[in-house]
Amino acid sequence: MSTPKHVAITNELREQCRQLPVGSRLPAEKELAAHFAVSRMTVRQALDALASDGRVERVPGLGTFVRRPTVAMGPNLTSFSEDMRARGLRPSSRLIAIEEVSATPEIALDLGLDAGVPVIRLERLRFADDEPMCLEDAYLPARFQRILDDADLEQSLHEILATAGVVMASARRLVRAVPAPSRDAQLLGLAEHAPALEIVDVFYDTNRRPAHRSRSRYRHDRYEVRSDLSRNADRSPGGEPDE
Amino acid sequence: MSTPKHVAITNELREQCRQLPVGSRLPAEKELAAHFAVSRMTVRQALDALASDGRVERVPGLGTFVRRPTVAMGPNLTSFSEDMRARGLRPSSRLIAIEEVSATPEIALDLGLDAGVPVIRLERLRFADDEPMCLEDAYLPARFQRILDDADLEQSLHEILATAGVVMASARRLVRAVPAPSRDAQLLGLAEHAPALEIVDVFYDTNRRPAHRSRSRYRHDRYEVRSDLSRNADRSPGGEPDE
DNA sequence: CTACCGCTGCGGTCTAGACCAGTCAAGACA
DNA sequence: TGTCTTGACTGGTCTAGACCGCAGCGGTAG
């Protein structure tokens, strides 16, 4: 048994959540424990993971409920695929390149690696409703090689990694405007020297380890970033886990 | 006992982490369990919480170590002046226009007014260390007329309003890339048709009333937006999971 | 001296119970 | 009819063990 039971159960339940309607109740912990033939504590570990991912909401005395509304942008971390679906568009991708390259100092810094070590580079043209939306240039640590080897890289990278137990929990984001290089403009269907919205994300997994660094150039006429700001953006050290 | 043991232990250990040097090792789980007179699972629950907060790093076979506190500031609302100072630059402004105009439908919607009512329009060229940084086109409800009459509009608008008791508490932000119109490019010192980073903010005061709507076009080569994303950016009201 | 091997201590996982507090509906009582 | 009690749920907390794989150390064999 290479993967821990609670990880397997987490994945199994995550898949079920995807298919269940929002708001529906999951089986009780005892029932899940019986169904998976494990102890209740193990089921709870899986449910805790789903709850901290925001996919599920646990209500004492009532049950555990599917919570899909992962709604809008704002301070919420979303993958391209989630983002597009939230905007009512159908995401798809075309793989342009996948290769092993040496990490540049910048990439190495973002991924917490030494410069020059091998990393995986992934270039994808991403579509929304079959229209080009952005060109993505992504880098991942070489330790994900096996995961990516078995995966369909025209699917959501975040879902591929999540299935392998690597869940993105936070990200550092940089947004700027750049003139689209002519190759990018051509791929995106833009005029020469049209502006592009460049977003550089460094994603961290649940262990606070950098797991994915991407630079995406979006069509300026098809994409904008929404966010909400507030004066008191502070996380409290208080005991209450919610709110 | 009103607070669960694992919460109390979490708080106790968090305090200890603050005082211990970064990188130092915490006592082993067994020792902590003995010290707090609880089971090891309870200690683990506390340590899991600290680990997911990033205050502690757990290394199998070695121990649990204090991590450097991660700053991870959320999306903070800042005025242009605060923003520039935070980047180590000296903010200044040149007032280009102040006038009373009729609200367009878009402006009226953002400010919660009826289309056509008079609003105050303010156009300012904003500098950082005396170099052009952005061109701001701002709209405010006419009720602020008297406040603005007495103010030096080359200072921070947010500070002027705060002095009059109108404090900005939250904002909705839109970020996109646009080709700079030639007049804007000229004022900003950009080449014709260079990209600009356009940020549209609608600021709300402490009463959740819209108070200020601005569209700023930033030089793409001098400005970028940084932000932190996380998976759990909960929404406030008591939205129950049932339909 | 080096290479290997086993020991010990560490966190990671897992179990099979237990009791608590909250929710809610059904039944008992006024 | 209306209110109260009861009990059968739920998830929340907690225990006292167990075995695993990994890291580091020290001793031993080459």
Residue B207 has what pLDDT?
65
Give the whole-angstrom CA distance, residue B208 versus residue B111. Answer: 11
Residue A88 has what pLDDT?
67
- Give the model's confidence band at A192: pLDDT under 50 very low, under 70 low, under 90 confident, else very high: confident
A172 touches chain B (CB under 8 A): yes
Best-predicted range by mean pLDDT (B39-43, B51-55, B68-72): B39-43
CA of B233 to C1' of C29 (A): 49
CB atoms within 10 A of CB B213: 25
Give the whole-angstrom CA distance, residue A168 versus residue B99. Answer: 48
Instruction: For residue B21, give Cα distances in angstroms to A4, A189, B31.
Output: 33, 54, 20
Give the whole-angstrom CA distance, residue B33 versus residue B96. Answer: 67
Strand order in the sheet with A118-128: A91-102, A118-128, A131-141, A210-219, A195-205, A168-179, B225-230
Per-residue pLDDT reduced to its tens digit, A151-183: 888 888 888 888 787 888 788 888 999 999 999
Give the whole-angstrom CA distance, residue A155 versus residue A94. Answer: 9
Write out chain A residues lying below 8 Å of B178, CB-based.
177, 195, 220
Residue A76 has what pLDDT?
57
Higher pLDDT: B127 or B89? It is B127
Best-predicted range by mean pLDDT (A118-127, A203-212, B63-72, B87-96): A118-127
Write out chain B residues lying below 8 Å of A227, CB-based.
75, 172-173, 175, 227
> What is the total residue count of chain B?
243
Q: What residues form DSSP beta bridges with A198?
A: A176, A217
Higher pLDDT: B234 or B119? It is B119
Residue A242 has what pLDDT?
28
Contacts of B190 (CB under 8 A, 6+ apart): B180, B184, B196, B219, B220
- A188, containing H or E segment: helix A182-188
The pair of structure tokens assigned to B193 is 């048709």
Residue B51 has what pLDDT?
84
Proximity of residue A4 CB to strand C below 7 A: yes
- Give the model's confidence band at A98: pLDDT under 50 very low, under 70 low, under 90 confident, else very high: very high
The pair of structure tokens assigned to B178 is 């646009």
Percent of chain B at pLDDT > 70 equals: 88
Question: How far, rounded to the nearest angstrom, does the alpha carbon of residue B10 sit from its chain's CA centroid?
Answer: 29
Residue A77 has what pLDDT?
65
CB atoms within 10 A of CB B41: 11
DSSP state of B76: B
Written in H, E and C, the secondary structure of A14-37 is HHHHHHCCCCCECCCHHHHHHHHC
Coil, strand or helix: which one is A205?
A: strand
CB atoms within 10 A of CB A184: 20
CB atoms within 10 A of CB B192: 10
Return the minimum-mean-pLDDT range out of A26-30, A78-82, A185-189, A194-198: A78-82
Residue B75 has what pLDDT?
52
Contacts of A93 (CB under 8 A, 6+ apart): A124, A125, A126, A127, A153, A154, A155
Residue A240, pLDDT above cutoff 50: no
Higher pLDDT: B159 or A181? It is A181
Higher pLDDT: A67 or A153? It is A153
Alpha helices by DSSP H, chain B: 5-19, 29-36, 40-52, 80-86, 105-111, 145-149, 157-163, 182-188
Percent of chain B at pLDDT > 90 equals: 41
Residue A204, pLDDT above cutoff 70: yes
Residue of B nearest to A195 (CA): B195
Q: Find out whether B44 and B10 touch, Cβ atoms under 8 Å.
A: no
Strand B118-128 and strand B131-141: pairing? antiparallel
Proximity of residue B34 CB to strand C below 7 A: no
The pair of structure tokens assigned to B113 is 């007014």
Smallest CA–C1' separation from B30, nucleotide: C10
Residue B153 has what pLDDT?
85
- Give the model's confidence band at A46: pLDDT under 50 very low, under 70 low, under 90 confident, else very high: very high
Smallest CA–C1' separation from A37, nucleotide: C15
Write out chain B residues lying below 8 Å of A78, CB-based.
229
Residue A207, pLDDT above cutoff 80: no
Smallest CA–C1' separation from B29, nucleotide: C11
